[in-house]
Amino acid sequence: MKRTRCPALYKEYHLDRGDERVDLFRKLVRKYGIRSALYPGSFVHIAPSFVIPRTVHVDSFREAKTFFADSNTLAYIVQRKEYDEEPHIGFYGSDYNDPFGEEPESFDLLISSYAGFVSPPCKRYLRLGGLLVANDSHGDASMAFLDPDFELIAVANRRGEKFTISETELERYFIPKRAVTVTPQLLRETGKGVAYTKRASSYIFRKIA
């Protein structure tokens, strides 16, 4: 079978940097039975599509639009996929704060990774009982921790390209190092999260309301 070349932007930003993070999504699929994911602010990070059959990306950056319009991108996903069915890949070249054409409560997983405050506007697309996986690079994991619609259920830690999910000792996370009251307003002002006594690579929340 003819090999599909890796799309140039994915190669540059993820493959060559050893920053695909496929194993994070593989572990989430295995542990929680994820079948669909919404990825606002994905840029060209298509790794979730290697293990999740239905993924929808939202990114306003023009290069992302060109990337997802290229048939080679889908061909590469087909080559890398670890499930039997054909992949369904959606893309909206818009601001994730604005409505886009997906049904409310229609995804198993919402991904928030280095792309600002994804969870407040996009949680409406996550089904009740669905999961948010967020890092705290821009403070979105902290935002979700304050949000009564979410409950912290696990953390993921990284060693190279391998990830471990842990559901224990969750009370040790989100304890600020300094005496500050963490509020949504503070998080929006700083846009980079808070220094905590214990950190994880990513945090996993369940939508409970």
Residues that bind ligand SAM (CB under 6 A): 41-43, 45, 58-61, 64, 95-97, 113-116
CB nearer to ligand SAM: give 64 or 154.
64
- Tell the smallest beta-carbon distance from residue 180 to ligand SAM (Å): 25
Phi, psi of 206 (to 5 degrees): -105, 135
Phi, psi of 67 (to 5 degrees): -60, -45
CB nearer to ligand SAM: give 91 or 150.
91
Q: Tokens for 172?
A: 């040790």
- Tell the smallest beta-carbon distance from residue 189 to ligand SAM (Å): 17
- Tell the smallest beta-carbon distance from residue 64 to ligand SAM (Å): 6
Residues 150/124, Cβ–Cβ less than 8 Å: no
Q: Tokens for 105?
A: 């409560």
The whole-angstrom separation of Cα 101 and Cα 20 is 28
CB nearer to ligand SAM: give 43 or 150.
43
The whole-angstrom separation of Cα 2 and Cα 87 is 19
- Tell the smallest beta-carbon distance from residue 21 to ligand SAM (Å): 7
CB nearer to ligand SAM: give 42 or 119.
42
Collapsed DSSP state (helix, strand, coil) of residue 65: helix
Residue 179: left if φ>0, alpha if ψ -120 to 50, beta else—which one?
beta
- Residue, CB closest to ligand SAM: 41
- Tell the smallest beta-carbon distance from residue 40 to ligand SAM (Å): 6
The whole-angstrom separation of Cα 137 and Cα 103 is 28
Question: What length is written for the chain?
Answer: 209
- Tell the smallest beta-carbon distance from residue 45 to ligand SAM (Å): 4
Q: Tokens for 10?
A: 């994915």
CB nearer to ligand SAM: give 12 or 167.
12
CB nearer to ligand SAM: give 116 or 193.
116
